A = this chain, B = another copy of it.
Amino acid sequence: MARTLGELAAQFGCELIGDPAVSVSRVATLSNAGEGDLSFFANKFYRDELRASRAGAVIAREADAEDCPVPVLLSADPYLTYANIAALLHPAPPLAAGVHDTAVVADTAQIADGVQVSPQAVIDEDAVIGENVFVGPGAIIGPRCRIGDESRVLANATLVQDVAIGRRCIVHPGAVLGSDGFGNARSDTGWVKVPQVGGVRVGDDVEIGANSTIDRGAIDDTVIGNGVRIDNLVQIAHNVQIGDHTAMAAFTGVSGSTIIGKRCMFAGQSGIVGHITICDDVIVGGATMISKDIDQPGFYTGSFPGEQDREWKRKVARFRRLGELADRVGALEKSAKDQD
């Protein structure tokens, strides 16, 4: 889907340095791009690659344009402009509307126009599938699930039951939405399962990564706001609420009933305990455990970077003897005081 630089400059509001008749048809990295390829420069780390690039054109900030030997589309935010142009050059493949012969669709399911149901998919009783939805191969859409227009539920993903997702969402392969929450009551003879009867409600423009899991609510629903981005292998427990445009990287785990604000960002392997509230605009570092409410926006961390084992073990040993060190300081203070 080729576009001239002139067309792109006009459509995305970029000033163009170079020939507007040059056309690009796909994206490439600075190093690998050649004629017809569009690249971008957003990380100063790659300045050498910029200088040597043979791309058809590069999206860059004005200040970096002089280092670029090929045509430049100027942007105050090259990565964002790149994202928008890349979506134009590489659109999602068009749907082939229809239900594959091997798919199973319940009589009571409603399927709107333009929907593609792939091989081996299952759409169960009372499911409601919006227009131009893609249901991938092997995907299971359980009873009473609702999928908004133009969403895509990819291969082998499962919406267990009572899961409502909004428009233009992507549920990546293997993700499971609507599984039972981890609700167990203790008895003298062991755990008693607490029935999980809530659903999952997902807003518009949400992505849920491969093999991630979002549990149904225990009673009320688990709620994912609009524009939320969830990476692979993330766990969202029952009755969690996640505010609009929050993003969570892989292995983030959110325990039950926790409420997370808008525009938060969680780096990989972060964990949030249950029944707490995190305000808007909180950023949590990698491998950090959040154990109580956060009511101030900002950056929160709690992890140590790894280092050479011998050196780390030495530090841990000192950490363990901190009490002894404090005692020695106390003794010195006492002795100093006695001398006064």
Least CB distance from A210 to B in Å reads: 4
Closest B residue, CB atoms, query A304:
B302
Stretch in contact with the other chain, from A3-11, A15-23, A64-72, A119-127: A119-127
Q: Does A253 make an interface contact (CB < 8 A)?
A: yes
A interface, how many residues as a size bin?
35 or more
Provided the pairs A176-B211, A285-B306, A305-B289 are in contact, do residues A233 and B231 lie with their beta carbons within 8 angstroms?
no
Let me know if A320 and B326 touch, CB within 8 A.
no
Q: Does A195 make an interface contact (CB < 8 A)?
A: yes
Provided the pairs A235-B251, A308-B298 are in contact, do residues A83 and B193 lie with their beta carbons within 8 angstroms?
yes
Identical copies of this chain, number? 3
Instruction: Report B-chain residues with C-beta under 8 Å of the C-beta of A183.
Output: 83
Q: Flag A150-179 by CB within 8 Å of B: 1 or 0 each.
A: 000011101010000000001011101001
Provided the pairs A79-B185, A82-B185, A120-B138 are in contact, do residues A309 and B299 lie with their beta carbons within 8 angstroms?
yes
Among A160, A212, A302, A315, max chain B CB count under 10 A is at A302
Q: Flag A225-243 by CB within 8 Å of B: 1 or 0 each.
A: 0110101110101000000
Q: Does A268 make an interface contact (CB < 8 A)?
A: yes
Instruction: Report B-chain residues with C-beta under 8 Å of the C-beta of A63.
Output: none
Q: Does A260 make an interface contact (CB < 8 A)?
A: no
Let me know if B210 and A176 touch, CB within 8 A.
yes
Knowing that A300-B308, A336-B336 touch, tell me 15 more A-B residue pairs with CB under 8 angstroms.
Answer: A80-B186, A87-B195, A90-B197, A104-B120, A118-B122, A160-B173, A176-B211, A179-B232, A191-B247, A251-B271, A271-B286, A298-B308, A301-B306, A301-B312, A322-B322
